[in-house]
Amino acid sequence: MSQALSFANVSSPIAWQGKRAINRAQLLRDIAGALSQLPEADFAINRCTDRYAFLVSFLAVALKGQTNILPANQLQQPLADIASRAAGRMYCLQAHPDRDRHPAINTLTLKLDHPSSTPAVISIAPGAVAARVFTSGSTGQPVMHSKTWQHLLAGSQALTAGLGARLPAGASLVATVPPQHMFGLETTILLPLLQELSVHSGRPFFPADIRAALAAVPAPRLLISTPVHLRACLEAALDWPELAGVYSSTGPLSQSLAQQVGQRLACPVTEIYGASETGAIAWRNALAGDPWRLLPGMQLQLAKPGQAGGVLLRGPQLSQPVELADQLELLDEQRFKLLGRSREVVKLAGKRVALGELNQRLNDIEGVQDGVFFIPDEADEDRSQRLLAVVVADRISDAWIRQQLARHIDPVFLPRSIVRVAHLPRDTTGKLPRSAVAALLK
Residue selected from 121, 161, 215, 236 as contacting other proteins according to rule CB under 8 A? 236
Stretch of residues binding other proteins (CB under 8 A), selected from 25-33, 198-206, 247-255, 276-284: 198-206
Strand partners, 147: 131
Q: Is 428 in the site for other proteins (CB under 8 A)?
A: yes
Among 162, 178, 184, 202, binds other proteins (CB under 8 A): 202
CB of 319 to other proteins, least distance (A): 34
Among 5, 41, 212, 348, interactor with other proteins by CB under 8 A? 212
Contact between 215 and other proteins per CB under 8 A? no
Report the residue from 289, 318, 421, 433 that binds other proteins according to the rule CB under 8 A.
Answer: 421
Among 161, 208, 215, 349, binds other proteins (CB under 8 A): 208
Sheet holding 417-420, edge to edge: 370-374, 388-392, 417-420
Q: Does 439 bind other proteins (CB under 8 A)?
A: no
How many angstroms separate the CA atoms of 114 and 121, rounded? Answer: 17
- Cβ at position 391, least distance to other proteins in Å: 13
Q: For the CB of residue 202, give the shortest distance to other proteins in the complex, in Å.
A: 7
Quote the least distance from Cβ 178 to other proteins, whole Å: 12
Instruction: Please pick, from the candidates 206, 242, 263, 376, the single residue that binds other proteins as defined by CB under 8 A.
Output: 206
**Among 63-71, 246-254, 277-285, 415-423, the segment contacting other proteins (CB under 8 A):** 415-423
Stretch that binds other proteins, among 132-140, 208-216, 348-356, 402-410 (CB under 8 A): 208-216
Q: Does residue 181 belong to the site contacting other proteins (CB under 8 A)?
A: no
User: Segment near other proteins (CB under 8 A), from 52-60, 64-72, 146-154, 203-211?
Assistant: 203-211
Which of 237, 320, 379, 395 lies at the binding interface for other proteins (CB under 8 A)?
237
Name which of 383 and 423 has its Cβ closer to other proteins. 423
49 binds other proteins per the rule CB under 8 A: yes
Which residues from 118-137 bind other proteins, rule CB under 8 A?
none
Q: How many CB atoms lie within 10 A of CB 26?
A: 20
Among the listed ranges 37-45, 177-185, 202-210, 292-300, the one in contact with other proteins (CB under 8 A) is: 202-210
Pairing of strands 335-341, 292-294: antiparallel
Q: Give the residue with the Cβ less far from other proteins, 125 or 212.
A: 212
Smallest distance, Å, CB 118 to other proteins?
30
Q: Which of 1, 4, 8, 75 binds other proteins (CB under 8 A)?
A: 75
Only one of the segments 178-186, 232-240, 340-348, 376-384 lies at the binding site for other proteins (rule: CB under 8 A); that segment is 232-240
What are the residues binding other proteins (CB under 8 A)? 49, 75-76, 202, 204-209, 212, 228-229, 232, 235-238, 421-428
